[in-house]
Structure 1
Amino acid sequence: MKESMSITSSTYASALLTLPWGTPLEQWPDNLIAALPRGISRHIVRFVGINRGIVAVKEIGARTAHHEYKMLRELQRLGAPSVRPVAVITGRHPAEEDYGELTAALVTEHLEFSLPYREIFSRHLTVVESEKLIRALSVLLVRMHLLNFYWGDVSLSNTLFRRDAETYSAYLVDAETGEFQPNLSESRRLYDVDIARVNIIGELMDLQAGECLDKSIDVIALGGLVESSYLELWTELTAEESVDASEYWRLSERIDRLNQLGFDVGELKVTKDDSRQVVRIRPVVVDPGHYRAELLSLTGLSVEEHQAQRLLGSIQAYQAVECGPHVGLTQAAHLWMTNEYEPTIAAVPVEMLDKLEPAQIFHEIVDHRWFLAQERGGAVTLPEATASYLESVLPARRDEARLLSTNPSDEDLS
C-alpha cells in the first residue's frame, strides 16, 4: 500500500500509520471506532481512538481535503474557534489490485466536550435555550467575518457547540467551502448570513419532523434570529461613532458593551472633523484573565477581572480622546493614573476608604458619571461625578472591608 501523508505534528505520525487506510472508512472495525455523537454529514465521518486521543476522520476528495486542511490551519493560527487539523491522507490503495484508489481522508482533532446540534436538541430544549444556540452561531459567524473569512456553507450541521456557563460557545467544524478574502465585502458577508438563515430553518424543520423539537417552537423566527443577532453584533463591533472632545465617557461606554460581548479593543483610531471626533474600533477576542493581566502590566493595579475590564476601557477611552495619536497605551495608562485614577481615589475621605475597594469605587464613579450625563443631557467631568458620588452614594454603603475582617465566628473565639 502506498501512502502520502501530510501531518501537522510528528507526534501523530506513528499512531496514524497503524490505521487501516487500505480499507474504506465505513468498513473500519468497531474496535477502532469511538462511540461519540456525530452530526449529519454528506461525507463518511468516523471518530477513532489513537494513543494521542481521539481524531475525526472524514473521507473527502484530495483537492478539497487539502483546501480544508489549509483553511483550518490558518484559522488555528489566527486563534479562531475551529477544530484543529492533523493530516491529509492520500494515495490510499486497497489490497485488492483491481479496486481503484480510495478517497482521500482529512483528519482533525476531536473537540473535547463538544456536541453536534442534534445531540443538544434531542434533550427537548426550551425556546430560550434554542435561542442561545442560535446566538452562539451568530457570534461565531461574526468572528469569522472579522478575520475576512467567507464560510460559504454556514449551518448548525457544520458547527460544534460547547457549554459555556449559562450559554454556549460555537466552533467551526467544516471549512470545505471557506476561503479568506483580502477584504471581505458586505455582499459576501450578508450572503453567508442568508445561507445560515435558510440552512437553520431547514435543519430545525427536520428536527420537528423527527419529533426532536417541540412543534410549538417557531422555526422561522429561530432562523431569523441568526440574522438579527448577527447584524446587531456586527454593528456594535464595527460602527463608527462621533464623539465630542469632552464626552469620551461615551466611548468608554461603547468599549464596555464590546467587553460584555466577549471582545476587547485591539485598536482605536480617532480622526478629527472640526469639533467632532470619529472613532473607529477594531475588536479582538480575548481569553479568560486577559484584563487582569493587562491592567496589572500597565498600572500595577491588581483587581478582579470585571473591574480590570472597566478600568482598561477607561484607559483606552482616555488614550483616544485626551492623548495625541503618537501616545502609546503604556504612556496613556501612566497619564490616566496620574490625572484621573489617583486624584479620584485621593478625593475619597479617609473615613470612607473601607467601604469599597479603590478599583470598585472608581468603577462606580464612572457609572455614576454616565447616569449624571444622561440626566443632564450633556457632558459631566470626572471631578463633578466624583463629588456627587462621594456626597450622595458612598456614604450609604456599608464598610465592606470591616465586614470581611470581623467574622462573627472570630469574635466568638476571642
Structure 2
Amino acid sequence: MNQKFARRVQGWSLIGVFALLLVACGGNDDEQEEQQQESPPKQAQVQTLEPFDLELDKTYPAMVRSDRSVNIIARVDGTLEQQHYRAGGIVEKGDILFTIEKDTYQAAVAQAQADLQSARASASEAQRDYERYQRLYQNGSISQQQRDQALSQRDTSKAAVAQAQASLESTQIDLNYTDVKAPVAGQVSLNDVNVGNYVARQTQLAEVTPVDPLEVRFSLPQSDAFALRRQRQMDDAPNVNVELDFPYGDDSATTDTSLTGDLDFLGARVDESTSTVQARAVFENPQNLFLPGQFVRVKLRNLMRFHVLAVPEIAVTEGLKGPQVMLVNDDGEAQSRFITMGEQARGWVIVPEGLEKGDRVVVSNIGSISAGDKIDAQPFDGNVDSEPDNPSGLDASGANKSAGQGTSVSGETDQTSADERSSNSSDN
C-alpha cells in the first residue's frame, strides 16, 4: 500500500514539473510577443512613386573623322625641286607645299606672250586693210570680192589673237601649278615623293587633313533617337549637350581631354540590321588635341526619358530572385518586391516592371529593415547620391528638404507620419 502511494506521489510530482515547464514556456512566448509589440517602428525615408521626366547622360563609342581631308596631287609634269613644309606640321590654306620645275613653264609663258603680241600686230594690220578696202569698194575702185577677202582676213586675225590669248592663259595656269599649294588648312602628312624625282601629272605628293573642326559620327539605339528627336521638338525641354572625351593614361589627369560640340544631324531612318539611327556632331579642336581616326566616347547630356517610374539606386538591393525594393504597405509594415531594372543615371534607376504609381518605396536605412518591420515613414529628401545621414529628411531648421532633379518624387508628409506613429502606439 505504501509503495503504491509512493508511486502515485512520484507521478504527481512529475506531472507538476511538466506543468510548470509548460507554464514557463508559455510565459516566455508571451514575453517575446510583448517585446515584439513594444519594439518601436524604424524610421526611414519613403518615396511615393509618381511618373516624372528624368534626365540621363548617355555615352556612345565613336571614331573621329575629317571628311575634308585632301590628297595633294601634281598638276604638271616635271622634276620635284623643293619641299616647303615640315612633315606633320599645320599648314594654312594657300601655303606652298612643293615646287615643281618652274623654268620650263616660265619659258612656255614667255613664248605664249610673244605669240600673243604677234597675233595682235597681225590683227591690227588686217583691220587697217579692211577699212581701206571698204572705202575703195564704196568708191567703186575694187570689186566686192576683194572687199570680202579683206573682211575675212580681219576676222581670221582676230581669231588668232583669241587663240594666242588662250594659249597664254593655259601656260600661265601650268606655271601656277608648279607651286603646289594647300587647298585647305590642316595637318600635312609625310611626303610620298622625294625632292629630285620626276613626277607626272596625277602623282600623289602628300595629304592635308583638317583637324579643326572635327566631325564625329555615331549610332544611337532607336529608343534614344526617338527620345532625342522628341526632345529637340519641344520648346521647354532642356538642350542636349554633346561632349567628346577620351582618356589617355596619366595625361588625362592633367590635360583637358574633352570637347563640347553641336549635334547637327540626326538620321531619318533606322538601320534594319542594327536597329540604330546615325547621328553626327561637330567639335571645335583649337589645340589640335584630337585627330581623325581616334576612337572616342561621345556623351549626350540631358537626354530625357519622359513619364517614367524611377527609384534611387540606394533603394535597390539584390535578393535571391534578383533586384528588389522594400515597400511600405497599408499597415505601415515593410514588404519586399522584386523589380525589373531599366536604365540608370544620376543616382536613379528606371523601373519598367514591378512597381506602380502610388507605391511607397523605402529609400533609406535599407540594411536595417526586414520584411514585416513597422516603418515610421519620413519624407524623401531627394538625395540619391548616397545613403542619407539624416533619416528624418529634415534640415537644421526643421523644414523638409526639396527633392532634387526637378522630379515629382516625394515622401509622406509630417502629418501622415505623425498619424501612423500614433496609430502604431495605440495598437501596441
Give the TM-score taking structure 2 as reference length.
0.17
Higher relative contact order (CA 8 A, sep 6+): 2
Comparing both structures, which one devotes a greater share of its residues to strand? 2
Comparing both structures, which one devotes a greater share of its residues to helix? 1
